Structure 1
Amino acid sequence: MWLAISAINLAIAVIVGAFGAHGLKNRASAEQLNWWHTSTEYFFYHALGLLALAILVKAVPQFPIKSSFILIQTGILFFCGSLYLMGLGFPRVFGAITPIGGGLMILGWLCLAWNAFRFTK
């Protein structure tokens, strides 16, 4: 399941990246395009991180990744989703959600670090 979710994230990241580069190019302001670009970068980085977690759990099935995966995935939805909405012209109030998403992504990686310190085979 983790590998499939990671692959879906990466496919969506390519789709929204292409849409931003081609579909929004002449329709959005420079600020909106910047939000879109930032969102897509973070989407790719964290989707690749989720892929690494999925590979890790295949190699070491008993390694606990569930909480990290869920925190990071939820962070992607909040962080990237809010920036994508603003990039599409929705009100800037959605920017208040962005730091929540960033915090969730950070917590996901810190949770992974915590589990890595505690993990014994």
Structure 2
Amino acid sequence: MQANELAMYGLIFFGIILSGMALMNLNQVQHKTVISTDEKGVVLKTEENQKIFEEQAIELDSKCGDLEDKENIQHLSHHPGMYMECLEQVDSEKLMEATGKTLEEILGQNFN
């Protein structure tokens, strides 16, 4: 084999590997952002959603996840026993916007 042929095959191989890695990364990014919601936009209590929010919390190095994210706030409100400390940190206006409920209403459903 000549040097030109070897270089060409090397570039083709490198291109295939690079394309494969890009596709795998794209698939991971798309999978993370698909959060199941109902027709009103309320986050559903699903195992897949739970995994997405757990991954987000790990990435942010916080049990609470992103306390500015409406979907995350809805998720936290679905599990007030687990995330009471997190819910207490959420701005009351953001909480109302995300859930339509006050902190007392959310916690009262499970602690009265």
TM-score where L is the length of structure 1: 0.27
- Between structure 1 and structure 2, the one with the greater Rg is 2
